[in-house]
């Protein structure tokens, strides 16, 4: 009986430790010249997991990485806004007066933030792609201009047996960017291609053998038409 009571007490203590940090946290990162909204969802079952939303940067449901909880202190990375070979943004925070107070660190820069708990966690599951229609499969090319610099785009969409579609997505500007695509969805004539690592999405519609759409990255959106290479 004593052993059972001790086990219950241990489990209860563990739950109490996890509960204060669990939840949906929302607030603003204090960046010079602007305020950037940050929403973080933290959940604990067998281990910690979570996701982040940065509406102003077109980031939604980016997975949290390397979550480390030590008492009231927590740190983690956000799998977004960076190439795979570059270390992702990091969060270092402490629970203080029922708020998460800490720093957003990226590229040697540090910005302060305060997050308030707004409710239970709403961790987004990793995105999953779907197959695409035959009309979308194959090679596409396009171009657009951003901040005065022209960029060329190549896209290859491919279906796989019993698997969702995949994409090779390359943007060439002042350097070559191999964009990691983690979600491709198609509904009728519409297709959406998303990269949480780059905070980038392309939404387009198939019209007369071309895909007419918009490329969105952070607060910026530009029109782009994709055509079959000649």
What CATH code is carried by the domain that includes residue 60? 2.40.128.120
Query: Residue 91 falls within a domain, yes or no?
Result: yes
The domain boundary, picked from 119, 152, 185, lies at 119
Q: Do 61 and 112 fall into the same domain?
A: yes
Return the closest-CA partner of residue 41 out of 84, 74, 87.
74
Residue numbers of the domain that contains 170: 134-226
**pTM value surpassing 0.75:** no
pLDDT score for 190:
95
11-41, pLDDT tens digit by residue?
444 444 447 999 999 999 988 777 789 999 9
Query: Does residue 163 form part of some domain?
Result: yes
Residue 101 domain-assigned (yes or no)? yes
Total domains, the chain: 2
List, for residues 88-119, the tens digit of each pLDDT value: 789 999 999 999 999 999 878 899 999 999 99
29 found inside a domain: yes
43 within domain boundaries: yes
Q: Is residue 12 part of a domain?
A: no
Q: Tell me: the pLDDT tens digits for 1-12?
A: 444 444 344 444
- Report pLDDT for 178: 92
Residue 212 pairs with which residues in a beta bridge? 205, 225
Q: Which residue has the tokens 């491709």?
A: 184
Give the mean pLDDT of 206-230.
91
Q: What is the pLDDT of residue 84?
A: 46
Q: What is the pLDDT of residues 43-83, one digit of tens each?
A: 998 899 999 998 877 778 888 989 999 999 999 998 876 54
Same domain, 95 and 149: no
Q: 134-147: buried (b, 16+ CB within 10 Å) or exposed (e) per residue?
A: eebeeebebebeee
């Amino acid at each position: 009986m004593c052993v059972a009571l001790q086990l219950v007490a241990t489990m209860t203590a563990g739950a109490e430790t996890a509960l204060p940090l669990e939840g949906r946290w929302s607030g603003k990162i204090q960046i010079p010249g602007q305020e950037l909204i940050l929403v973080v969802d933290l959940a604990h079952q067998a281990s910690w997991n979570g996701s982040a939303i940065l509406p102003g940067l077109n980031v939604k449901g980016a997975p949290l990485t390397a979550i480390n909880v030590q008492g009231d202190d927590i740190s983690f990375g956000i799998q977004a806004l960076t190439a795979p070979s570059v270390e992702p943004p990091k969060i270092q925070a402490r629970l203080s007066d029922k708020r998460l107070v800490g720093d957003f660190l990226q590229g040697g820069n540090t910005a302060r933030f305060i997050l308030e708990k707004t409710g239970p966690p709403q961790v987004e599951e990793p995105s999953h792609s779907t197959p695409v229609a035959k009309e979308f499969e194959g090679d596409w090319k396009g171009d657009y201009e951003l901040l005065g610099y022209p960029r060329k785009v190549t896209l290859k969409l491919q279906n796989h047996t019993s698997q969702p579609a995949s994409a090779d997505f390359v943007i060439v500007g002042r350097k070559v960017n191999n964009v990691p695509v983690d979600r491709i969805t198609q509904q009728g004539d519409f297709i959406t291609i998303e990269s949480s690592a780059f905070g980038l999405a392309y939404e387009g519609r198939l019209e007369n053998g071309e895909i007419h759409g918009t490329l969105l990255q952070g607060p910026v959106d530009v029109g782009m038409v994709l055509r079959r290479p000649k």
